[in-house]
DNA sequence: GCCTCCATGTAAATAGTTACATGATTTT
DNA sequence: AAAATCATGTAACTATTTACATGGAGGC
């Protein structure tokens, strides 16, 4: 349901399926990802519904590209989605793993699990921090100075940072608690 | 992929599909949910694979219940899953909405969106806080005093709280920024 | 009598992943 | 000459949601 709307959002500028996938990797991967095998059929469906138009671009190099652009109908659909209330439930597989951790017989398994959790979240945090550092060095006066079109993507970055910081702290506290209980 | 393992985790004690659904509503809903229409077929598949066994319980009241219990094979599968590394990508639909918010023509739409975001996260935070308060009033000396089987579920609660607090703060800061920019 | 809760399930649709197929161009 | 990247797509499978079908028990 959401990929449709995300594609409509990305297609503020015309682009090919492949370029859209690049955009996912470059800018959205912190909260969304999509495989090409999902992108292409979804673009087709959106075209069938009249929300996108496409044409083949002459092959400058390599195979020809099919370039999609958003129609008015597509833009309307996007604007409606942008006003929808958010959906309730989130899914965190690793929290399910934590939840049942006590069922694993081996006594160090919980400690090991949290150590690897901590590592992974520290790494994510580092990645996000680097991106923020780059924004800050390139654009002094951030965020006040930003245009709206950059401000909201920037906000998704700051939330990612805040949440990851909270998660790293939680991992550390949990690890300490687990280690204290060993004795 | 995960629902299988979550069912195996819940079935440390034998239970029916309906009871499992209750358990989702009572204890896991903060990070996972599942419809009965998904639970029943998944239980069937797990039984076919020899990870669960079932028998019909005599109808004390109402229709008979099919009670599932975990086999050794099922337990092994669970233990393996509990040691798997976590998967990389998370999905947050509302962050995609934030990301494209600038494309909505109407100037107050962003403000409205964040106001409703803030409300919803404050509400979730309140719910989680209530659950924590109850644990704390019922079990003084939490978390040190807890058995492992309660400690890890408790940890999923504390992470939920920490993340929601971070999110509420982010909503507030974002709203202030948006309101400052109006002038 | 009607509504809700208990309890199980199927069917159909949507969403998403993994694997496969194809072929050109550019880099090593 | 092999490997990586560009570029599009299909097929098969897995995961999830929404809607429907059925029927008993207990409360209003």
d(CA A58, CA A173): 57
Asked if A125 is an interface residue toward chain B (Cβ–Cβ < 8 A), one would say: no
- Residue A37: nearest nucleotide (C-alpha to C1'): D9
Residue B85: DSSP 8-state: P
Per-residue pLDDT tens digits for A11-48: 999 999 999 999 999 999 999 999 999 999 999 999 99
B96 touches strand C (CB under 7 A): no
Average pLDDT for residues A54-69, to the nearest whole number? 83
| Residue B182 at interface with chain A, using a CB cutoff of 8 Å | no
pTM for the model stands at 0.92
Q: Residue B68: beta bridge partners? A: B15, B54
How far apart CA A30 and CA A33 sit, in angstroms, is: 8
Q: DSSP alpha helices (H): ranges in chain A?
A: 2-10, 17-23, 36-48, 72-82, 93-99, 109-138, 148-182
Contact A51, A71 (CB under 8 A): yes
- Interior/surface letters A59-96, b for 16+ CB within 10 angstroms, e for the rest: eeeeeebbbbebbeebbebbbebbeeebeeebebbbbb
Q: Is residue A94 less than 8 Å (CB to CB) from chain B?
A: yes
| pLDDT value of position A112 | 96
Closest alpha carbon to A83 in B62, B97, B118, B46: B97
Point out the residue nearest to D6 (C-alpha to C1'). A62
| A88 phi, psi to nearest 5 deg | -65, -50
Q: Which nucleotides of C are covered by protein (CB under 7 A)?
A: 5-12, 14-20, 23-26
To the nearest whole percent, how much of chain A has pLDDT over 90?
87
pLDDT digits (tens, 9 = 90+) for A156-165: 999 999 999 9
Instruction: Give the nearest chain B residue to A117 (CA atoms).
Output: B86
Closest C1' nucleotide to B41's CA: C9
Residue A60, pLDDT score: 63
Rounded to 10°, the helix B72-82/B2-10 angle is: 120
**Measured between alpha carbons, how far is residue A170 from residues A140, B165, B166 in Å?**
32, 13, 12
- Is A79 touching B (CB cutoff 8 A)? yes
Task: Please say whether the beta carbons of B74 and B8 come within 8 A.
Answer: yes
A34 CB neighbours strand C below 7 A: yes
Per-residue confidence (pLDDT) for residue B13, from 0 to 100: 96
- Which of A5, A79, A159 is the closest to B95 by Cβ? A159
CB-facing half-sphere around the CA of B142: CA atoms within 13 A: 17
CA A80 to CA A51: how far, in whole Å?
13
Q: What is the pLDDT of residue B182?
A: 86
Q: Which residues in chain B are contacts of A174 at CB distance < 8 A?
A: 155, 158
Least confident of A12-21, A81-90, A143-152, A172-181: A81-90
Percentage of the residues of chain A whose pLDDT score is greater than 70: 98
pLDDT at position A87: 84
What is the average pLDDT across A88-108?
Answer: 92
The reply to whether B72 touches chain A by the CB within 8 Å rule is: no
Partners of A110 on chain B (C-beta within 8 Å) are: 148, 152
Find the residue in B nearest to A107 (Cα). Answer: B148
CB of A56 within 8 Å of a chain B CB? The answer is no
Picking from A95, A54, A152, the residue whose alpha carbon sits closest to that of residue B5 is A95
- A13 CB within 8 Å of a chain B CB: no
The alpha-carbon gap from A85 to the nearest alpha carbon of chain B, in Å, equals 7
Q: What three-state secondary structure class fits B141?
A: coil
Q: Do A155 and B98 touch (CB under 8 A)?
A: yes
What does pLDDT average to in each consecutive run of 10 residues of chain B (183 residues)? 94 96 94 96 97 85 86 96 89 96 90 96 96 95 94 97 98 96 85
The helix/strand/coil state of A52 is strand
Listed in order, strand segments (DSSP E) in B10-160 are: 15-16, 52-57, 65-70
Q: Is the CB of B80 under 7 A from strand D?
A: no
Q: Which residue is nearest to nucleotide D23 (CA to C1')?
A: B63
A89 touches strand D (CB under 7 A): yes
Give the pLDDT score at A169. 98
């Amino acid at each position: 349901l959401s990929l449709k709307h995300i594609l409509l959002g990305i297609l503020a500028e015309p682009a090919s399926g492949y370029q859209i996938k690049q955009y996912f990797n470059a800018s959205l991967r912190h909260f969304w990802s999509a495989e090409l095998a999902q992108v292409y059929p979804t673009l087709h469906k959106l075209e069938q519904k009249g929300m996108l138009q496409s044409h083949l671009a002459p092959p400058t190099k390599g195979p020809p590209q099919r370039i999609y652009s958003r129609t008015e109908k597509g833009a309307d659909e996007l604007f409606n989605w942008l006003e929808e209330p958010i959906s309730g439930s989130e899914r965190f597989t690793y929290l399910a793993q934590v939840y049942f951790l006590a069922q694993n017989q081996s006594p160090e398994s919980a400690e090991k699990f949290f150590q690897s959790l901590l590592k992974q979240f520290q790494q994510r945090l580092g990645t996000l921090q680097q991106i923020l550092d780059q924004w800050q060095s390139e654009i002094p006066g951030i965020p006040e100075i930003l245009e709206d079109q950059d401000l909201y993507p920037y906000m998704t970055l700051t939330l990612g940072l805040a949440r990851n910081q909270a998660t790293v702290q939680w991992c550390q506290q949990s690890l300490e608690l687990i280690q204290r209980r060993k004795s």
